[in-house]
Amino acid sequence: MLKSIASSALVAAGLFAASSTFAQAADARGDWVRPNGASKIRISSCGGSLCGKLIWLREPRNDTQNPDAGKRSRPLVGVEIVQSMKPTSKTNQWKGKVYNAEDGKTYTGFIQLTSANKLKLEGCVMGGLICKGETWTRSK
């Protein structure tokens, strides 16, 4: 019986260590590609947060929908679209702001690393009641 308890404790400790290692190893930093392949975003550290800049567009264009008229002629490449993401209480999830260049609006946003190579991004309105998002793939 004692041997069985010791074996169970070792298995439980191993499972805990494995899950802790994944949580600690989870890193959203890197280059990510949108599902349609039309753009690439680089997530990096910015202070104690994560931020993401548009680093490549299949069809380069300007930030024509920006609410600030002075920014509408700037190229979209280099624009920070994932802003000030801080960890939430959920594992591998961050909350901050997401700039949508398609409509020129900034939304409450979440990013969540769902696997080593998949990052789910959501933009939300009404305090998070309505969210829309997509899953990005890590660029190789």
Asked if pLDDT for residue 63 goes beyond 60, the answer is yes
The CATH class for the domain spanning 27-138 reads mainly beta
Return the domain boundaries, the chain.
Answer: 27-138
On whether the pTM is more than 0.85, the answer is no
Percent above pLDDT 90 for the chain: 77
Residue 119 burial by Cβ neighbours in a 10 Å radius (0-12, 13-18, 19+) = buried
The span from the CA of 43 to the CA of 52, in Å, is 4
Contact at 8 Å (CB) between 42 and 30?
yes
Strand partners, 123: 109, 132
* 114 alpha carbon, distance to own chain's centre: 10
The span from the CA of 121 to the CA of 93, in Å, is 10
Asked if pLDDT for residue 25 goes beyond 50, the answer is no
Contacts of 19 (CB under 8 A, 6+ apart): none
**86-110: pLDDT as tens digits:** 999 999 999 999 999 999 999 999 9
